Amino acid sequence: MICKRCFRMSDDGFEYCPYCGKSFSDDSEIEVKPEEEETGGKDAENVKEKDAPESDPDRAEGGGYGRKGAPEGDPLRRPDSVPQGWGAPYGYTMPPPPYPYYTQPRRVTPAQKFFSAVGHAILYFLLFMFCQAIVSVIFMYSAIFSSEEVMGIISEYASNPYLTRQDYDEMTERITEAAMDAMDGNLLNSVSIVSAALTTLAVFLVAVAKHRPFSAHVGLYPFHSWLALLLIPIGISAQFLISMVINLIPWPDAVVNDFNGLYSYMGKSDGIFAFVLEILAVAVFAPFVEELIFRGCIYTRLRRGMPAAAAVIIAAFAFGMAHGALIAVFYASLLALLLIFMYEKFGTILAPFLVHLGFNAANYIPLLREDSSTVEIVVTLVVSAVVFSVCLAVIAVSDVGKRDHNEDTVTLPPIPPMPPTPPEM
């Protein structure tokens, strides 16, 4: 019930207003004593508020905060059209909650967008490298100090209190050779798998801290087209074509030796378990975490703050630099261009992941060997070129039904429902 004197609402069942004491059953007009009017009593003030003239916008009905006739964009306008003013049934209500509910977000300049995009990309790149480094160091030291040969060398030289410079250099060389023997392919594959899991967990925690779904944060969405079946053949054929381009370039011997030493452990696993572990590390975990970081986090952030061409070049170069050797930087940068195109076409990192999976898995397809004949090389390259061209052309000219991700960038919670409009009294 609403009191006719003080205009305050109370629960039904009261006979008198709990605030001013007026009887709810009394329909007589409120009489104001002259002394209350002169002294500014509480009843006189209520009467003045009720009978406020239209010339006073802060006291007349529809005036003041949340007035009905306020134009769009007026900060005093209520979006829910709840009647406001001194003549409204409930009087003035509480102001709306602050941002992000009823106010517009602040404007961001192009320079702010650029530096924000570059900063986020650098942070995600450092996060990826940090996870790789910390896992590598932990596994490397655990393998070194668990090796009996390394510990024997250390104990041999530790017993001599007078080590010369020549003895120290000899000890360092012997320990390095023993450590390289201790770090076999299984250890490196384990490092790849664990670092991929750690990086994924770190990105997931970042998404949680930003109050965003993990799928929206990294662009991990399901496919909406059968054309996804062409992605793995594109990756396999791209491996043979890029390998041909690398072999046609006259690289210096030092560069070739660095590249061969970096990937010398691939394809030399002993046993079924070691081979399965290598396949999982090279063809599954490594492509997934690289697409998660370089396409889902770095490229998407760069694209928001700079032209698309600049974002593509920087993201491709960053992906190449993460592979170490000069030859690896070259072929990874070329591959990144293809992966970015697939991400833009399908709108999900699963598309470049499948291409990347096929690219890495092609290393284990026994089509080209060191003793392959010229005919075998030519046939393999021609078939790869045809498969690559046809599949890529079909995807380029087709509508893959890409999901609209415009709403995924919105991090604001939905506007809560407002209470219903009170009835007129």
CB 337 within 8 A of CB 330: no
Whole-number CA gyration radius for the chain? 36
Element (H, E) at 314: helix 308-321
Secondary structure (DSSP) of 260-302: HHHTTTTT---SHHHHHHHHHIIIIIHHHHHIIIIIIIIIHHH
How does residue 156 score in pLDDT terms, banded at 50, 70 and 90? confident
In a domain, 179, yes or no: yes
User: Does residue 102 lie in a domain region?
Assistant: no
17 Cβ contact partners less than 8 Å away, ≥ 6 residues apart = 3, 5, 6, 8, 10, 23, 24
CA 250 centroid distance within chain? 40
pLDDT value for 13: 65
**Residue-level pLDDT at 234:** 95
Judged by DSSP in three states, 129 sits in helix
Gap between the Cα atoms of 320 and 331, Å rounded: 7
Per the structure, the complete domain to which residue 245 belongs is given by 118-409
Contact 285, 196 (CB under 8 A): yes
Three-state secondary structure call for residue 23: strand
The whole-number pLDDT of residue 61 equals 42
The average confidence (pLDDT) of the chain is 76
Does residue 32 surpass a pLDDT of 50? no
385 part of a folded domain: yes
User: Which residues partner with 9 through β-bridges?
Assistant: 2
Phi, psi (rounded to 5 degrees) for 16: -125, 150
d(CA 288, CA 412): 29
Residue 15 lies in a domain: no
User: Does pLDDT of 425 surpass 50?
Assistant: yes
Q: Cα-flanking dihedrals φ and ψ of residue 80, to 5°?
A: -100, 5
Q: How large is the average pLDDT for residues 129-142? A: 87
Question: Under a CB-based contact definition with an 8 Å cutoff, are residues 264 and 331 in contact?
Answer: no
pLDDT (0 to 100) of residue 265:
60
The span from the CA of 186 to the CA of 411, in Å, is: 42
**Is residue 420 over pLDDT 60?**
yes
Residue 16 DSSP class: B
**Tokens representing 406?**
């415009």
Domain count, the chain: 1
- The answer to whether residue 22 is domain-embedded is no
Residue 41's pLDDT band (cuts 50, 70, 90): very low
pLDDT score, position 122: 95
Mean pLDDT confidence for 208-225: 87
* Residue 239 DSSP SS3: helix
- 39 domain-assigned: no
CA distance 36 to 261: 98
pLDDT, mean of residues 55-62: 42
| Domain presence at residue 268 | yes
Identify the burial level of 133 via C-beta atoms within 10 angstroms of its C-beta, where 0-12 means exposed, 13-18 middle and 19 or more buried: exposed
Structural domain includes residue 60: no
Contacts of 44 by beta carbon, 8 Å cutoff, 6+ apart: 32, 36, 37
Question: By three-state DSSP, how is residue 98 classified?
Answer: coil
The answer to whether residue 385 scores a pLDDT higher than 90 is yes
Give the list of residues 6+ apart from residue 144 with CB closer than 8 angstroms, or none.
150, 175, 178, 179, 182, 183
